[in-house]
Amino acid sequence: MSKNRVGLFLIGIVLFHVSVQAQWVQKDIVRELAITQHLLGNQADSFLYPSKQLVNKKKVKIELLPIGMTHLYHSSLPTGYNLSSAIAAKGYQLQVSGGFKASIGDKLKIQLNPEWVEAKNQDFEQMAQILGDQTWADYYRFANNVDLPVKMGEGPYSRAFLGQSYIKYQWNKNWEAGISSENLWWGPGWKNALIMSYNAPGFLHATVNTKKPVETKWGTISFQWIGGKLKESGILPLRINSVYNGNFVYQPKIQEDRILTAIHFNWTPKWTPNLSLGYSGAAYFYANDWGTKASLGAVYARYRMPEELAELYMEFGALKDFRRAYVAGFRKLFPTTNNAHIQFAAELTQMQAQTAELIRDPNSWYTNDKVRHGYTHLGRTIGAGIGPGSNSQNIEISWVKNNNKIGLQFERLRHNSDFYYYTFARIGDFRRHWVDLSSSAFASWQFKNIWLNARLQWMRTFNYQWLIIETNPSTPGNYFDPGNDYRNISASLSAILRL
């Protein structure tokens, strides 16, 4: 790393935000804050909105956006999701953003808020070469139908993105249209969303959407349609020259962008103002093959209990062949002294096919055997960050006051059980579930014009990449053989500076 970059890194440590599993990229911080404030009946704090005006004329206003910088570190393995433009990478990583927002008249809005990411992207253990040829053939039954590289290329990673930028025209008080590269989150989930989340970088898309909920005689509605392009990672999987039963297990994907069209709808009935019902759906296809499409969709419900400062929610999605997924959660605030609250939140996410133990079918959420890059952009799922076939359970306990928050989070993540059952259950080996158990301590605090966020996480990984260390190869199947286990420390420091 050059002297200039070392200097920038040190300045960032002094000035900016801390978060551990790197799930607190800047927009996700605002989203979590907004969820809590909405539960309290308040609007999200305006800390991240433009504050310094460069031009303030009758028809033209130009304002500076806050400067954001996030430093991430993973000691042994790349972990984390909902990273937006940042990546899951071993070692140090830096994400920087900033820009301006302009208004021309009352209708035209322009925001330029690019992001830049640089990661050491150090080497780490990937899929074990000692696994048999049939296991690798099974692995490719998944890898051939989705673009999810384990490692984002070789050597250091450096890339610039448009980030949270857009040009929008608001033709009345409720509706707007434009071009955007913003990240979108559809659904009530806290850690995961089935159709649209912050897991991948924002992609360029056209949008038509409500600016704010529209009042109707049946209640309020919100709507968004987008159409955009999804790009491949350009990274080849491992062992592409492997052969099983006389055939190459790797099947090259066509090098072509995918077209995505998606809608999101939310309705709050006037008869039950605390209940929200919604639908999110997406279809994607190769630009030169409009006739072959893949699609997925999900419905959701959120029920708020204002007097109890609590809410329940669930998102449910279904595909053909009994492929179902859901996100379900609960959140409650308990008042304490000095207008502070204790927040308890829990969320369950299941992406594993419910029939995976019985049906030996490798198709999973976000994979597709026709549109074989799957539901991904630049090598990451656009929906739930835990990925195809995975399940997670999350719990948070925190103290919250205004923009300040201190707490603990606990997560259990089981990786791609669809692959596990397809590959290992048929041979009677039930020891190999790849499971991460993690505990995080975090703090988020506002100091005048700087908002600091910090997190430190300890994670224990069991049977990494579904691997068992056979102590006696002549007698395989010993239940007490040790797993391929890791201990991983993650930390991140970031700050958002309002000029």
- How many other C-beta atoms can be found within 10 angstroms of the C-beta atom of residue 426? 10
What CATH number corresponds to the domain at position 182? 2.40.160.130
Which pLDDT score, from 0 to 100, does residue 9 have? 36
- Predicted confidence at residue 397, as pLDDT, reads 97
What's the confidence (pLDDT) of residue 124? 93
pLDDT at 129: 77
pLDDT of residue 361: 61
Q: How far is Cα 332 from Cα 308, in angstroms, rounded to an integer?
A: 7
Predicted local distance difference test score (pLDDT) of residue 363: 77
Residue 476: per-residue pLDDT: 59
The two tokens of residue 126 are: 């990937």
pLDDT digits (tens, 9 = 90+) for 209-266: 999 899 999 999 999 999 999 999 999 888 888 889 889 999 999 999 999 999 999 9
What is the rounded average pLDDT of the residues 195-222? 95
For the stretch 314-370, pLDDT in tens is 999 987 666 789 999 999 999 999 999 999 999 999 999 876 554 556 678 999 999
Q: Is the pLDDT of residue 402 over 90?
A: no
- pLDDT (0 to 100) of residue 16: 32
Give me the pLDDT at residue 23, please. Answer: 43
pLDDT for res 289: 86
* Token digits of residue 205: 């898309």
Q: Which of 137-146, 167-176, 386-395, 427-436 has the lowest mean pLDDT?
A: 427-436
The predicted pLDDT at position 63 comes to 92
For residues 196 and 266, is the Cβ–Cβ distance under 8 A? no
Phi, psi of 32, deg, nearest 5: -65, -40
Closest CA to 194 of 90, 304, 279, 277: 279
Separate counts of helices (H) and strands (E) for the chain: 4, 29
Mean predicted confidence (pLDDT) in 402-422 = 92
Residue 373 has pLDDT above 80, yes or no: yes
Short-list 354, 408, 407, 364, CA closest to 386 = 364
Question: What integer pLDDT is reported at residue 242 of this predicted model?
Answer: 86
Q: Is 486 helix (H, G, I), strand (E, B) or coil?
A: strand
- The pLDDT of residue 275: 96
What's the pLDDT tens digit per position in 34-72?
Answer: 777 777 766 555 555 556 788 888 899 999 998 999 999
**Residues above pLDDT 70, as percent of the chain:** 88
SS3 at position 271:
coil
Question: Which stretch of 30-39, 138-147, 307-316 has the lowest confidence by average pLDDT?
Answer: 30-39
Of 310 and 11, the structure prediction assigns the larger pLDDT to: 310
Is the dihedral angle over the CA atoms 280, 201, 47, 15 positive or is it negative?
positive
In this structure, what DSSP letter does residue 45 have?
P
Query: Rounded CA gap, 411 and 385, in Å?
Result: 14
pLDDT above 80 (res 10): no
Whether residue 278 contacts residue 303, with contact meaning beta carbons closer than 8 Å, is answered with: no
| Mean pLDDT across the chain | 87
Q: Give the model's pLDDT for residue 326.
A: 97
Between 407 and 51, the more confident residue is: 407
Give the chain's domain count: 1
Q: What is the mean pLDDT of residues 442-468?
A: 91
Under the banding of pLDDT at 50, 70 and 90, the label for residue 14 is: very low
Show the domain range for 355. Answer: 3-497
Q: How confident is the model at residue 465 (pLDDT cuts 50, 70, 90)?
A: very high
